[in-house]
Structure 1
Amino acid sequence: MRYLIGLLKIALFVFLLGFAVKNSELVTLRYYFGYQWQMPLVLIILIFLAVGAALGVAACLGYLFRQRRELQKMRQSLSTTKTTLGE
């Protein structure tokens, strides 16, 4: 099983490397007020992927911290009920 996963990782790496090599032309992104940004296409895709992943993680952080606070309150409540019952 480890060999299969390793083989899949190598195949994915080769596929993405081929994608990067084939999409190395310069692309111009045009913004408002005449701003332009010129970079290779694969680098722009990588940057936008990273920004999207970071925004997704940031969107989940509030929910995660709320769950941790609720779990901590439940643990405290459980420990207080254990001490009142004498266990």
Structure 2
Amino acid sequence: MKFIVWLIRVLVFVLLLVLALANTQPATLNFLAGYAWDAPLILIGLAFFVVGLLAGLVSAVPAMLRLRMENGRLKRELRAAREVSPVKEEPPMPPLI
């Protein structure tokens, strides 16, 4: 199974590499206020990919911190519950007929 996963990864990498090498023509990206950026098309695509990746990571940080805090709280509660002496339960009374 690992072989198939690695084979798929290599195929995707090769496909993306061929796509990158086929898109080396220059392109102009126009920004507001008259700014422009002349760069190969694949470099512009890579820049947008990196910006999107960073935005996704930054947006995931609050949820990750909240989950870590909850995990710590639950571990403390579990530790406290284990330290409490267990209450001995008596067996239930048999039914009266």
Shift of 1:39: 0.7
Shift of 1:53: 1.2
| Alignment RMSD (CA, Å) | 1.5
Q: Which runs of 4+ in 1 moved over 6 A?
A: none
CA distance in 2, matches of 1:10, 1:61: 30
- Give me the TM-score of the superposition, normalised by structure 1: 0.85
Matches within 5 A, 1:13-32: 13-32=13-32
Partner residue of 2:92? none
Report the number of matched residues. 86
- The answer to whether 1:72 aligns with 2:72 is yes
Give the greater-gyration-radius structure (CA).
2
- The answer to whether 1:54 aligns with 2:54 is yes
CA distance in 2, matches of 1:33, 1:39: 19
Task: Call closer, same or farther: CA 1:25–1:75 in 2, change over 3 Å.
Answer: same
Task: Call closer, same or farther: CA 1:20–1:67 in 2, change over 3 Å.
Answer: same
SS of 1:85's equivalent in the other structure is coil
- Give me the TM-score of the superposition, normalised by structure 2: 0.78
Task: Call closer, same or farther: CA 1:41–1:71 in 2, change over 3 Å.
Answer: same
Q: In structure 1, what residue type is equivalent to 2:81?
A: T
